Amino acid sequence: MSLLNDPMTVFAFLAMTVAFVFWLSELPRFKKTFELIPPVIYIYFFPMLATTVGITPASSPAYDWMTRYLLLFALLLLMISIDLRSVAKLGPVALFMVVAGTFGIVIGGPISLMIFKGFLPADAWTGFAALSGSWIGGTANMVAIAESVGTPESAFGPIIVVDTVVGYGWMGVLLIFASSQTRFDKKINANTAAIEETNARLSALDRERHPTSLHDAAVMICMGMAAAVGAHQLAQTALFPALGDPTIISKTTWAILITVTGGLALSFTPLRDYEKVGASGLGYTALYLLLAGIGAQADLRAVLQAPVYLAAGAVWISIHVGILMIAARIVRAPLFFVATGSMANIGGAASAPVVAGVYHPAMAPVGLLMAVAGYILGIYGALVCAWLLGIVGA
């Protein structure tokens, strides 16, 4: 019996945890700590620790509600915030490197699972599927794919460790490589003109933001919740049957695809202007609340399985890097696009601008837009990877 059991009390505790983590991350004395390990990791681990010591329950109606609706709410607000026209203007080299990075993740996961399958639990493929979502677009995709394939809590804990250690370890390697980009570019006779061209196109982008008004908040919350409930109800109908053996396209997957595709379509309408008043910020808030709920259901002992998962993750990243290097030689891409294309997949919008800014200080917005391109590919590419992982893991 846990200390907290009432669903609203559990939800309030998780909300307080998320708020505490972000408050802590802004304190000067903890700045460097949160630069090394981002807030999202603590948002997952603190609730998991709370459940392990008996503060929160391992199962609660609060978690069910959060899983069912907060993910769809977050995805809609994140999707309508995307400027697809700006993503398309990144240029062929940048987009090619993002796609190459995605392809490396899609094929790397099944190959790595094939190598380590004998040392992992039977349901490990579902954890790999969740990780593929994280490595093609970020946390939102990780949660979406985990829900789609039914990743159990026992497989989710080690994946968070791999995502942190291997993913951010690779980011550190890329930052070190920044000092060698001139030598790399000369070696492959890279076409660096693409960087200047992309930078010029960015000058036309409108990135003005305004404070969120009561009207804006009401519209975004109502629109997000209506879409979440509507997509969930529509996915339950006979129009959207479960597909795959093991199931890859579940009723939950259909709800996610309806929301993502609908949100992308709405991004071409004036609704995209809500990004100027914080649509994506509100979406990420819902996403972090959901991640806290997932953490509260996890078993801390699952981390003990991490060594084998870490080895599998390292092999997976190596395949991803190998594909990127081949792609760079084909299109003569500068190391900047190799590094940023990789982080656009592995790290998403939080990390790609950081890496881009280290290579070329004025090019951080390129990293953001390449991450957006990776995010768009995320749901669809990770579903393909999950399907392949399901075949290998069966």
The SS3 of residue 243 is strand
| Predicted local distance difference test score (pLDDT) of residue 373 | 75
Dihedral angle of Cα 172, 308, 104, 169, to the nearest 10 degrees: 0
Inter-residue contact 225 to 69 (CB < 8 Å): yes
Structure tokens at 66: 């959060």
| Predicted local distance difference test score (pLDDT) of residue 13 | 97
131-149 pLDDT, tens per residue? 998 898 677 678 778 888 8
Q: Where is pLDDT greater, at 182 or 131?
A: 131
Q: Where is pLDDT greater, at 298 or 216?
A: 216
Gap between the Cα atoms of 244 and 247, Å rounded = 4
Q: How confident is the model at residue 226 (pLDDT cuts 50, 70, 90)?
A: very high
Gap between the Cα atoms of 363 and 140, Å rounded = 25
| Predicted local distance difference test score (pLDDT) of residue 189 | 86
Q: What percent of the chain has pLDDT over 90?
A: 30
318-350 pLDDT, tens per residue? 999 999 999 999 988 889 889 988 988 887 766
Choice among 91-95, 288-292, 390-394 with the minimum mean pLDDT: 91-95
Choice among 46-55, 165-174, 233-242, 299-308 with the minimum mean pLDDT: 299-308
| Predicted local distance difference test score (pLDDT) of residue 158 | 83
Q: How confident is the model at residue 205 (pLDDT cuts 50, 70, 90)?
A: very low
CB-side exposure of 383: number of CA atoms within 13 Å? 19
Helix (H) or strand (E) holding 145: helix 139-149
Q: Where is pLDDT greater, at 209 or 188?
A: 188
Residue 359: pLDDT above 50?
A: yes
Structure tokens at 299: 């078993």
CB-side exposure of 214: number of CA atoms within 13 Å? 0
45-81 pLDDT, tens per residue? 899 889 888 899 988 999 989 988 998 998 898 888 7
Q: Mind giving me the DSSP string for 266-279?
A: HTTSGGGGGGGGTH
Residues 6+ apart with CB under 8 A from 223: 76, 271
Residue 366: pLDDT above 60?
A: yes
Residue identified by tokens 């004036």 is: 270
Helix (H) or strand (E) holding 172: helix 153-177
| Predicted local distance difference test score (pLDDT) of residue 350 | 62
